[in-house]
Amino acid sequence: MSDEKNTNLPLQGVRVIEFVHMVMGPTCGLVLADLGAEVIKIEPESGDNTRRLMGSGAGYWVTYNRNKKSVAVDLKSESGLALVKKLIASADVVTENFRPGAMEKIGLDYESLKAVKPDLIYCSMKGFLPGPYENRAALDEVVQMMSGLAYMTGPEGRPLRAGASVNDVMGGMFAAIGILSAIIERGRTGKGQLIRSGLYENSVFLVGQHMAQERITGKAVAPMPNRVSAWAVYDVFTAKDDEQVFIGVVSDTQWQQFCEGFGLADLANDSSLALNNQRVKARDRFMPYLREKFATMSKAELMALCEKTGLPFAPIKKPVELFDDEHLLNSGGLTPVTIQNGQKIDIPALPLEMGGRRFGTRLDVPDIGSHTDELAEQAGVAYTGNHGLAGVR
């Protein structure tokens, strides 16, 4: 891991105080922390419950909380609240993603804080932006169902959530974009502001292309498994070793390259297949032939021909296989963290390069309250709590 004091980072000098849990809020903080901001996570003395999730939530904590400091406090205590307010007074940004009204109850909402710190940038991440739904409880799965994303993902009559927390992650990313924009705006005006990011609106943004498609075509949009593809060859094929490869041919030039690379002179010379829209209409005629031909080749042979020909292609992988992905291993795409049992593992780095730099782990995922004493001393506040459960990630 690189030195915590690495000074050549874009957000060096920006302090963020986060009151967040699960995925959406922590993702926002992760983006800012990876880019160099000092992100201080405020959590209960027993620790954020996300630390203890099992099943599909077991990876949340370590994935979204590197490069952060942990302050574990009892916000119901006088000294705990005093410490947090002192930290906020020294901060540029506050983020939160708790249920509506939670921050107001403890006097840490935007209206309360801006009265004493007008230049504060405050980001609130919720299920819904202000409107009729704003007080509803929401989860990634909830908004996928109500936005049409689950309808588009599953086969007809079987709505299916996407296989990752896409709205939580992207909602956090949009929050980070808003925060960065507010920092720039504050440089001109000297004023802070309230930023809101909504899970539901994020999911609606994702399906915008399908909303527009229906209006443009005048036809009902079919779920992805039942869709009429915009391209004739844009599918998963099974090789002779029962492995699968996705292959896409998305232009007339690629069609010619595809036919030449795979020895398909008969298809290349068929004038009724020269244009993409002709091929889309003729899929039933030539796709069984392609499937039969590819079933005589191994996965490695299929992929080698696609790479040589310059076609878009992909092996069908499971997430666990990415630990050994040669591109990720050689491009800085993975970064080390310590998981709850003390083992070191690699997880995805920020999918971004700036000036040739990738952004990895400077600070390991924090133990509960591992920075409470240090930051309380810096703030000049005597906090009298027990600082959480030492050593517990």
Q: How confident is the model at residue 3 (pLDDT cuts 50, 70, 90)?
A: very low
Contact 265, 219 (CB under 8 A): no
Q: Could you tell me if residue 265 is inside a domain?
A: yes
Q: Could you tell me if residue 337 is inside a domain?
A: yes
For residue 285, what are the domain limits? 244-315
Residue 228 pLDDT > 90:
no
Strand, coil or helix: 269: coil
Residues 272 and 329 in one domain: no
The residue whose two tokens read 């004091």 is: 5
Residues 337 and 277 in one domain: no
**Residue 113 is part of a domain; what is its CATH number?**
3.40.50.10540
- Percentage, residues of the chain above pLDDT 70: 96
Residues 54 and 159 in one domain: yes
Q: Average pLDDT for residues 145-158, to the nearest whole number?
A: 96
The 10 Å Cβ neighbour count of residue 224 is: 14
| Total tally of structural domains belonging to the chain | 2
Q: Average pLDDT for residues 281-309, to the nearest whole number?
A: 96
The whole-chain average pLDDT of the chain stands at 94
Residues 266 and 337 in one domain: no
The 10 Å Cβ neighbour count of residue 205 is: 15
Q: Could you tell me if residue 232 is inside a domain?
A: no
Contact 237, 316 (CB under 8 A): no
**Residue 281 is part of a domain; what is its CATH number?**
3.30.1540.10
- Residue 385: predicted pLDDT: 77
pLDDT digits (tens, 9 = 90+) for 42-82: 999 999 999 999 999 999 999 999 999 999 999 999 999 99
Q: What is the DSSP string of 231-242?
A: SSEEEEEE-TTS
- Residue 263: predicted pLDDT: 95
Q: How far is CA 90 from CA 93, 94, 119, 333, in A?
A: 9, 11, 11, 33
Q: Could you tell me if residue 294 is inside a domain?
A: yes
Residues 52 and 72 in one domain: yes
Beta-bridge partners for 16: 39, 93
Point out the domain boundary residue: 267, 295, 315.
315
